Amino acid sequence: MTIQNYGNDRMETNEPAEDELLYADLFSGCGGMSLGFEQAGFRCVGAVDQNDDAAETYRNNIGTDPIVDDITKYTADDLLNEFDVARGDLDVLISCAPCQGFSQHRNKHDTEHDERNTLVSFSAELAVAMEPEFFVMENVPELIQGAKERYWNRTYEILKKNNYAIASDVLNAADYGVPQRRRRAIIIARKEGRKVELPPPTVDEHRTVEDAIGDLPPIEAGETHPADPMHRAPNHTRRIVEMLDLIPDDGGSWMDIPENHQEEYWLDSMKKRAENGDLKSFCDTYGRMHWDRPAGTITRKSSTPSCGRYVHPEQNRNVTVREAARLQSFPDDWEFEGSFISWYEQNGNAVPPKLANAIAEQITRLIPITEKGTQQMTFDAIGPS
């Protein structure tokens, strides 16, 4: 079997150049963001993540040994020492921190304390102290356009106070060659108010599920293809396989199960939703992907048919790890470490490398430009309309 290498090829290993671009990755996960920067010619000097499996995946694929620990135990000076770089030497500091408070001693009702001490704002404080040229953040859209916007207030204040120019928006990964509709908040800040811009879309037409996984050989639920340990499908009960067999190919879902089988296969929750007409995103559960569209957002739950539209367009199973990884734009030589379910979790939590690469390439275009930004974005401009 020949499996095409979907996605950008890896960079060849070269001797360090005098003008090489250096980055460090906080909350590095399995390495999706880092891979995009590696593909653009950046060199990693260090990474931090608390998940053992993700750190092992990062180590084996990126080639850098992450610090496996709680990052809040570290100061900026600690990290600079660990990464063996001086203050101001980093071209890029990356942080994909979750929106949550980190104080272990906070009162659960002390919401002001929690909002001012999130991992997002903590990473901004590290950035200001470490003085990278660029600070890159990725997060949920709600961080800058919705319910979690309050968590961004403190972070924005930290960056603005320290004269960082900021560009931010919610980007769709599909606009950057990822065969998946994935909307994420992307923030790029640059010190000394110098010009900074988000990357423009890199594709005119979105890649589809068929583009990404159409050439992979069929396998049954619970099987692993002998040529690729990552082309492994989750196991399903006989009843689930029978149910999936009743769902039409190429975009069908539980709602399309023939009426004469609904009593047997519809769950109580399905019957209640159908009776009330309250479907919303629930219609995607036990749903097949469409061949001719990008996939929906690939999450850490993509091994489970009840959690979204993760069923193969034709085969009676959820997508394999390799298929899910291709839909995230990981190359075919990428292998995950840890347990089988951890493979899905690491993949779903990752930044799609093609989106990360677009960010990295944009930064390489901006690095020669030293003039002040033409417009310093205000908080009102990035808040909800």
Query: What's the Cα-to-Cα distance from 78 to each of 130, 131, 279, rounded to whole Å?
Result: 10, 14, 50
Q: Give 21-205+351-380's CATH code, choosing from 1.10.3210.10, 3.40.50.300, 3.40.50.150, 3.50.50.60.
A: 3.40.50.150
Rounded CA separation 116/152 (Å): 9
Q: Residue-wise pLDDT tens for the chain (385 aa)?
A: 434 444 444 434 334 445 789 999 999 999 999 999 999 999 999 999 999 999 999 999 999 999 999 999 999 999 999 999 999 999 999 999 986 554 433 344 444 445 445 899 999 999 999 999 999 999 999 999 887 788 888 899 999 999 999 999 999 999 999 999 999 999 999 999 999 999 999 999 999 999 999 999 999 999 999 999 999 999 999 999 999 999 999 999 998 999 999 999 988 888 888 887 766 656 788 999 999 999 999 999 999 999 999 999 999 999 999 999 999 999 999 999 999 999 999 999 999 999 999 999 999 999 988 776 654 444 444 443 3
pTM across the whole model: 0.88
Fold of 209-349: DNA Methylase; Chain A, domain 2 (3.90.120)
Q: Establish whether domains 21-205+351-380 and 209-349 are of one fold.
A: no
CA dist., res. 299 & res. 294, Å (int): 14
Please give the positions annotated as active site: 99
Strand order in 21-26's β-sheet?
67-68, 42-49, 21-26, 92-95, 134-139, 183-190, 165-172
Q: What are the structural domain ranges in the chain?
A: 21-205+351-380, 209-349
Pairing between strand 183-190 and 165-172? antiparallel
How many of the other CB atoms lie within 10 Å of CB of 209? Answer: 26
